[in-house]
Structure 1
Amino acid sequence: MSAPEERGALTPRPSSLYACALRVEHAEPEGPWCLADAAPPVPRRGPSNRVSRDFTRTKDELNRLLRPLLAAPDPVEAAEEVHRRLDALDPPVRHRTLRLLVAGMPVENEERARALARVLVRTGTGYRAVCVGLALLTGLGESQDVPYLRTLGRLRTLVDPVVHALDALDRSAGALLELRNQGEPVTFGPLLAALDAGDHTAVRERLVALPGGVGPEVARRVAEASGLVDLLAEVPALPASEGAALVARTGRLLFLMTSLRDYRPAILSYLDAPRAYEAFARGAGLLPPTLDHHALLLSAVQELSTGPAVLHDWGPGRREAALSELTAVLRRPEWCVVPDEQGDEPGVRWRVAWVRRTRAQVLGAPQETGARLRIAVHERDPGDSGAVEARVLVDGRPLVPDYFGHGPAHSPEELLFPGTLRATDEPREVQLAEAYCTEGCCGALYVTVRRDGDQVVWSGWRCPVPPGGKRELPELRFDAAAYDGEIARASDDESWMWPARRTARLIADGLRGRPDLLARWNVRLDWAGTASSNPDDTLISLFYDGEDGYVRQIRWRIPEDGTPPEDRAAAALRRLGEEDPRAYGS
């Protein structure tokens, strides 16, 4: 676009969304950000004879309507045509679908497409037309576009598409905008004020003082907005107490980003994760060996060994070096005693027991690094508990977050103890993971396991594919002897178990060995594990068919009574042989 054309095209018209955003911005130029609903409302159409859109047809339709305009020589004229064509769509395209499809649209002439995007963003009057411009700038934008995007982000209706565009150009600006839109001024106000003022010291102090109970995505945005990695570079020059406080906050943010209570783990979207983990490992020696700090170091070791954090592009030896630094701190004499000075309070007691079990695991005999397949049972810190996973690693990479990402791997009770992953000549389909929201919503990850001579083959993958996308998952082959050995080792390893969990396993094994115990009552085993609210309680879930034709559930709770797991399991099996479990209650 020539200079005269650019001046004409970029002058915001009074009715443009950018002009609305400017009015909001100039209303309080020196005050706090005011995210306002100043954008014209998205027009609502009357009833349509088309209830919803087919994604593939929508993709084809948008390609036909918009793709020629990306190469148009006159961006102003092309922008007007974008408005007309989008307004004519019935029913309208949802803005998230629009963003996804436009961002993936082939571009033959980047310069012309970028010019069109800028006209749409800076002079567009329609919400969807501006969203098209924002989607294009996600892949084609430059640093000069960031101020315009930040201004548009003043409009609450545009925050989401603006954040997506900013993430590609200036991630800290995108994170800052998203935090401003959290609606929690008490939590984030002091940090945002320090960032606005550009006060480096205040940013560090406000970051350390933030409450710990934020969600995984918010933890990531806090790290990005505050420039966490740059702050950590100053740790060696800080007083020891201040450096330790920042290192501890870093460990906490990284831990929150690995939460199992989200779809795609937030740590995968944190591009600075390797550098942050390295800085945390370097500074770990500043931390006193409290229970919280034990948990942070052990959690970091778990994630750097078997978790989604492994999937980042670390480069040669960097992840291994961070692990070595963390384990070296854990081996120091003052760290060899786990503090439990707070007595028998249940939460503290469970956490102390977890620290002791996990220390024994991560500091025990090193795992064979050259194995193609490895199964690692992961139990999360009870301070932020989650499902116990049987993490499947292939060539050192955790398979479920790599191929699926909608939920954690299944538990060892589902994948290991019933022999689910054992390979036979008869192919068997295995569900490795299910989406947090259930399979019926976002799917599950399936693979077919079969033995082929001296190899075990994983093939026939089934899992959700991103809308409009195509993903071929590879056939995996393992040496059969090594495969069988790893499945046997993982199945026999009970080092991660606590008494109630072992009781559950013994009961489930006993029921599989004696199917008559449940068959006589027309009851079947659903699962056996522990109660999330009280890990000391063994919980057995049983199903039976009600007289009305509906499946009923029995939740049988077996409390901790101080007896060995073997005795509790034997007593439970005896009771099942003598008494109908439908009379037990919870």
Structure 2
Amino acid sequence: MSAREERHAPLTAPTALYDQARHLLGGSAGGIPPWRGYGLPRRTATGARPLSGEEAWSGVREAFSPLPGDAVTLQRRFARLGVEARHRHLVRSVVAELPLPAGERDAARTLGRRLVRTASTVPAVTAGIALLGRLGTLEDVACLRVLAVFRDLTGMAVDALDLLDRRSAAVVWLAVRARRDELQPLVHALWAGDRRAVRAELVSLPASPRFVNSAVARRIAEACQLTDLLDGDPDDTRLLARAGGLLVRMGQSRGDVSDLLAYRDGLRVYELVVSRAGRLPPTLDNAAMLLSLALDLSSGIGVLLDWPPGLRAALLEALGRLLAEPRWVSAGASAGDAEQRRRSDWIRRTGRQPFRSPAASGGFRIEVVAGDPAHRAPIEARVLIDGRPVVPALFGRGPAHSPEYLLDDGRLRAGTEPREVQLAEANCTEGCCGALYVTIRRDAHQVVWENWRQTLPGSREPAPALPACRFEAAAYEAEIARAATDCSWSWRTRAVARLIKAGLVENPDLLSRWDAGRGWIGSGCDDPDTAVVTFWYVPGLASGRPERADRPLQFRWVITDDGTAPESQAAAALRRLAHEDPKSYARVCGGSRERAEELGFAWPDSP
């Protein structure tokens, strides 16, 4: 087809996607898109053979060679080459890599603007969004904001808006991605641009992590222009507390590291919250928030921000002085219900931890951190090298593993034989989003961490090459021993579980005599007043003649805290295992119903 034919061929779908999006918004309540946005208009199937991956790459590149002069030409090229809506990510990638000399940028920007406003096909609109992501200006924000309401375009439109107007990007993201009903009043105020209503809805927003994860927290802070709100009313303690809470949520280890690191005003908000923290009433919530910030500044994601020299240490020192004041030390003294008592106990155990080590300490260090129990944070054995937390710095898709995994089982100890150790796994699973590994070995008077490895199934991106780290062996082993024996972070039933596990590792016959093998033993945030012992039962295991070892039955023994010392409770549990078959007092929790009935055990009722 000639260039003239491309320009004058009739369009098969004349209504621009931009106009369709405006029509949809005009018919919605308050002009706000629904959660998850709108689906793209359906197109009639052409019946043509779908392109292979290589054909699609080739076709998209050909469509931009040379750069078309108008939107119609590009749409026609895409249609002729078989480029469809499902190839939009390829289109975006090709546009991102297009060589655009200075003399062609104005023409490319003009093309991008025509595409987003007039194109009727997804590949063409995608090309326009990608061009404006590279070359757009503030005048393009309104159009990108409209197109972002199509769920298949939201991500790329928000990425483009992030470069042009962070507030608009955040407002659109919240409107389309924030699903909780509790967030909707704030979203409506943001969409309407009502600053007074935004402030009112922000301070009344539920702070629970059920409503605000790291991504939502970042987008709320950006959409509300949090620093402007704080500067506008320095004495508003409710707003100050909410700002601190948003920082805590952005820094949570179960979130995405990029949320806090991408928040451009992060340093400023940390400084404002800490410098004004003395104005806050010394409530349990505020004490927990400030302690969480200190833990993050000491060994968490907050360490990785681009701090000016001395500022992070100064903020930590200020928090340490404040939280040591009697009015803050007694903040949880009047805790009422069980959850408040757990938070108060956590503050008592953890209150001085982030202030014990200098913020810029070097070498090799391990900080076992238990986060605010109200947030159900995982217990992490955070490894710091030269003062920087390794897992969020190198991985960022999940928290560091627990102390039970890394320390109690001796995985971090170095021997002459190299050993690969998984330091962290993605929040979902390794099979979904990967894990972080390092190989540890002893080399004479040094311990070497080398061959860092990230797994990310399906990724084409090579893992970053990381240098080997060397530590003086005596100091390394001393730090491992210190971290393994320091249980000041632990609550009572967690200590009970660790002691029971240690007893069973030392004397596995306590379970094997009953044809049982050790399973998971611990105490979680969901029920911190109990220790849980699980084990697998296979008849004949003790005699060395297991029956149907491929179909074991799993049991769960729950030990309720009786208020006595952990050592006493663990010793009592181990004595009971020595004299009573645990299958007589534990309950089946895994395996199969058929196997349970076959062996004479009741299968648990469905919850």
- Partner residue, 1:417: 408
Shift of 1:262: 3.7
**Pick from 517, 521, 527: which aligns with 1:524?**
517
Contact (CA 8 Å) 1:69, 1:78: kept in 2 or not? no
Corresponding residue for residue 397 of structure 1: 388
Tell me the residue number matched to 1:151: 146
Task: Give the count of matched residue pairs.
Answer: 557
Deviation of residue 458 (structure 1)? 1.5
Partner of 1:5: none
**Partner Cα separation in structure 2 for residue 566 and residue 185 of structure 1:** 44
Q: Give the aligned partner of residue 357 of structure 1.
A: 349
Matches within 5 A, 1:446-461: 446-461=437-452
SS in 2 for 1:181: helix
Q: Distance in 2 between matches of 1:554 and 1:101?
A: 51
Does the C-alpha gap of structure 1 residues 151 and 375 become closer, same or farther in structure 2, counting only changes over 3 Å? same
Contact conserved, 2:69 with 2:111, CA < 8 A, in 1?
yes
The letter of the residue matching 2:347 is: V
Residue 562 in 1 paired to residue 559 in 2?
no
Task: Name the residue aligned to 2:305.
Answer: 312
Amino acid at match of 1:215: V
Q: Which residue is 2:16 aligned to?
A: 16
SS in 2 for 1:550: coil
Q: Match of 1:3?
A: none
Alignment-derived partner of residue 340 in structure 1: 333
Correspondence for 2:422 among 392, 416, 431: 431
After superposition, give the CA deviation of every residue in 1:209-255 in whole Å (9 maximum; x if it has no partner): 2232322122221111110012112233xxx4xx1111011112122
The partner residue of 2:66 within 72, 96, 101 is: 72
From 215, 226, 232, the counterpart of 2:230: 232
Equivalent pair of 1:391/1:398 in contact (CA under 8 Å): yes
Measured in 1, the distance between the counterparts of 2:511 and 2:549 equals: 20
Q: So what's the TM-score if we normalise by structure 2? A: 0.83
C-alpha distance in 2 between matches for 1:127 and 1:435: 33
Q: 1:369 to 1:212 in 2, by over 3 A?
A: closer
Offset at residue 292 of structure 1 (A): 0.6
Asked if the contact 1:103/1:138 (under 8 Å) is kept, the reply is no
Query: Can you list the C-alpha shifts for 1:363-407, whole angstroms capped at 9, x where unaligned?
Result: 4x3348433211111111111112111111122221112222221
Question: Which is worse superposed, 472-481 or 72-81?
Answer: 72-81
- Out of 78, 81, 87, the residue aligned to residue 83 of structure 1 is 78
Change (3 A) 1:37 1:326: same
Q: 1:439 to 1:551 in 2, by over 3 A?
A: farther
1:42 and 1:127 in contact (8 A); partners too: no
Q: Is the 1:71–1:108 contact (alpha carbons within 8 Å) kept by the matching residues of 2?
A: no
Does the CA contact (< 8 Å) of 1:83 and 1:126 recur in 2?
no
Equivalents in 1 of 2:254, 2:80: separation in Å?
41
Structure 2 equivalent of residue 571 of structure 1: 572
Hey, what's the Cα distance between the residues in 2 that align with 1:327 and 1:105?
Answer: 49
Greater shift, 414-423 or 365-374, is seen at: 365-374
Asked if structure 1 preserves the Cα contact closer than 8 Å seen for 2:63 and 2:78, the reply is: no
Taking the TM superposition and a 5 Å limit, the aligned residue runs for 1:437-586 are: 437-465=428-456, 467-474=459-466, 475-545=468-538, 547=548, 549-586=550-587
Deviates more, 1:366-375 or 1:301-310: 366-375
Could you tell me which amino acid in structure 2 is paired with residue 555 of structure 1? R
Equivalent residue, structure 2, for 1:173: 168
SS in 1 for 2:260: helix
5+ residue gaps, structure 2: 1-7, 539-546, 588-607
Which stretch of structure 1 is more off in the superposition, 74-83 or 325-334? 74-83
CA distance in 1, matches of 2:507, 2:108: 68
The whole-number CA distance in structure 1 between the counterparts of 2:553 and 2:183 is 46
Residue pairs, 1:43-122, within 5 angstroms: 58=53, 61=55, 63-67=57-61, 69-70=63-64, 72-76=66-70, 79-81=74-76, 83-84=78-79, 87-88=82-83, 93=86, 95=88, 97-98=89-90, 101-102=93-94, 105=97, 107-109=99-101, 111=105, 113-122=108-117
Report the equivalent of 2:282. 289
Q: Distance in 1 between matches of 2:175 and 2:401?
A: 36
CA distance in 1: counterparts of 2:464 and 2:177, whole angstroms: 37
Question: Residue 530 of structure 2 contacts residue 561 of structure 2 at CA under 8 Å; is this kept in 1?
Answer: yes
Paired residue for 1:4? none
- The residue type paired with residue 525 of structure 2 is S
Q: How has the CA–CA distance of structure 1 residues 258 and 121 changed in structure 2, closer, same or farther, with 3 Å as cutoff?
A: same
* Partner in structure 2 of residue 203 of structure 1: 198
Residues 141-193 of structure 1: CA distance to partner in whole angstroms, max 9, x if unpaired?
Answer: 33232122022234455333322221222111011112222576964454345
CA root-mean-square deviation: 3.1
Moved more, 195-204 or 274-283: 195-204
Instruction: Supply the distance in 2 between the matched residues of 1:427 and 1:402 (Cα, whole angstroms).
Output: 23
**Cα distance in structure 2, aligned partners of 1:146 and 1:507:** 60
Letter in 2 for 1:178: W
Structure 1 residue identity aligned to 2:99: V
CA distance in 1: counterparts of 2:383 and 2:267, whole angstroms? 21
In the alignment, is the contact (CA less than 8 A) between 2:421 and 2:439 conserved in 1? yes
The AA in structure 2 aligned to 1:576 is L
CA shift at 1:124, angstroms? 1.9
Change (3 A) 1:528 1:480: same
* Cα 1:495/1:26, change in 2 over 3 Å: closer
- Residue 311 of structure 1, CA deviation: 1.7
- Residue 207 of structure 2, aligned match among 197, 205, 212: 212
Distance change (3 Å), C-alpha of 1:168 and 1:355: same
